[in-house]
Structure 1
Amino acid sequence: MEEKSTVTLENIQRAALAEFSEKGFLGASLRQIVKSAGVTTGAFYGYFSSKEALFASIVEPHAAALMGRFMEAQTFFAELPEAEQPEHMGVESSSYLHWMVDYICSHREPVKLLLTRAEGTSYEYFVHNMVEAEVESTMQYLDVLRRLGRIVPELDRQLCHIVASGMFNGIFEVVVHDMPHDKALRYVDQLRDFYTAGWLKLMGA
């Protein structure tokens, strides 16, 4: 019975991945998912309470992995002694971006679902939440620079949000365009160099 249940679950999720990928969460038909999976609607509800619960079962592990590793990098940088933070700027982000490319290339379909087909779910704001975390870290780093005696121009939160949003949306183009691993690595390294130089200019470095 356990083996049969596992197979059924996998069939439902496989059918859902195809349907969500083609039509997005809002356009996806639960009836079509059930039909493609070869189960009854009643059987479906033995596994998932709703279409959104099914969507979450596919993308949540990847959302947690991407956001979790990102926040680890942010926390590591913030906990460095303040005097050491300027020389580490961009180092942790490089490590994270390389890890992210590896992760995305190993889980392309569900990550693409998370980033491009989540409208109408709580995951719709995944990239926005990542941007907001980046903005908060940036504002804290500006305060660190001022405490270190650096002359830093005033940068308001909205500008920082615009820059960070452009950066993350650019980085996630590796998902949208299904870039091969090596090309994606080069792409994000070039983007990181571009944005790091831009941030340094804005910060008066």
Structure 2
Amino acid sequence: MPRDKSFSHEKVNRAIREEFLAKGYEGASIRSIGERAGMTSAGLYRHYADKAAMFDAMVEPLVKDIKAWISSHKNKKYSLIESEGPSVKDEVFGESFFDLIEDIILPKKAEFQMLINCSKGTKYENFIHDFVIQNQDDFLYAIQLMKKSGYPVVELSQEELHMLLSAYTTACFEPIIHNYDDDKIKKYLTTLQDFFMPGWIKIMGLS
């Protein structure tokens, strides 16, 4: 009877996920992953070329989804700002970073925890810093658009904005990193939204 290759691959992926979450990338071993999957190291290599490829397979789909959401989100916001519609405030902040977390990150919470907590030694180990830098550039561009459109934006240095975005991003990711249940995460995100959103509205001259 032929072996079910899809089941075998799912079993390997489950073992990989468990190993990285338990030990991190640097502490994980091919041998231990094989033991979790019930196969030899040679058997694992029929699924993935090496440990780096295994980690990539776990987190790269999530990273791509996050980047795609950010790209779509910022382009929508830029268009709204340039349109100068009467409800631009509500529309610009109608979809927020909290939607990214709820729609994209929470369904792949284990992969996100792996990305943030377990990625030392991989190309993803500076994910949060790189994420903040990209959002900093996007936010500065949005502020310039607001200023050009006549909104009384708050003048911020790159350093100030970096500190604000670092605090904001870290706070929003904390409940997921600490593996709270989804209901608690959503509750804490509502608190963070109530705290941070008035500040972002003020900075963009929409208060």
TM category (shorter chain) comes to 0.7 to 0.9
What root-mean-square deviation, in Å, do the aligned CA atoms of Structure 1 and Structure 2 show? 2.3
**Normalising by the residue count of structure 1, what TM-score does the alignment of the two structures yield?**
0.86
1:99 positional shift: 5.0
1:26 positional shift: 1.0
Indicate if the aligned counterparts of 2:81 and 2:145 stay in contact, CA closer than 8 A. Answer: no
Q: For this pair of structures, how many residues does the alignment match?
A: 203
- Separation (CA, whole Å) in 2 of partners of 1:102 and 1:170: 18
- Separation (CA, whole Å) in 2 of partners of 1:108 and 1:150: 38
> Partner residue of 1:174?
175
Gaps of 5+ in 2: none
> Partner residue of 2:49?
49
Indicate if the aligned counterparts of 2:66 and 2:100 stay in contact, CA closer than 8 A. Answer: no
Does residue 110 of structure 1 match 2:111? Answer: yes
1:22 positional shift: 1.0
Describe the superposition over 1:111-149 as per-residue Cα deviations: whole angstroms up to 9, x where unpaired. Answer: 211221111112223322322232122111221222123
Once structures 1 and 2 are overlaid, which stretch shifts more, 102-111 or 33-42?
Answer: 102-111
After superposition, where does 1:1-205 map in structure 2 within 5 Å? 3-82=3-82, 83-84=84-85, 85-93=88-96, 96-202=97-203, 205=207
Paired residue type of 1:49: A
1:199 positional shift: 2.8
- Separation (CA, whole Å) in 2 of partners of 1:105 and 1:145: 31
Task: Tell me which stretches of 4 or more aligned residues in structure 1 moved more than 6 Å.
Answer: none
1:40 positional shift: 1.7
For residue 92 of structure 1, give the secondary structure of its aligned residue in structure 2. Answer: coil
For residue 112 of structure 2, give the secondary structure of its aligned residue in structure 1. Answer: helix
Indicate how the Cα distance of structure 1 residues 146 and 77 shifts in structure 2: closer, same or farther if over 3 A, else same.
same
Describe the superposition over 1:65-96 as per-residue Cα deviations: whole angstroms up to 9, x where unpaired. Answer: 22321221111111225224545332221xx5
Once structures 1 and 2 are overlaid, which stretch shifts more, 69-78 or 191-200?
Answer: 191-200
Indicate how the Cα distance of structure 1 residues 109 and 149 shifts in structure 2: closer, same or farther if over 3 A, else same.
closer
* Percent pairwise identity: 28
Gaps of 5+ in 1: none
- Separation (CA, whole Å) in 2 of partners of 1:43 and 1:134: 41
**Normalising by the residue count of structure 2, what TM-score does the alignment of the two structures yield?**
0.85
Indicate if the aligned counterparts of 2:59 and 2:115 stay in contact, CA closer than 8 A. Answer: yes
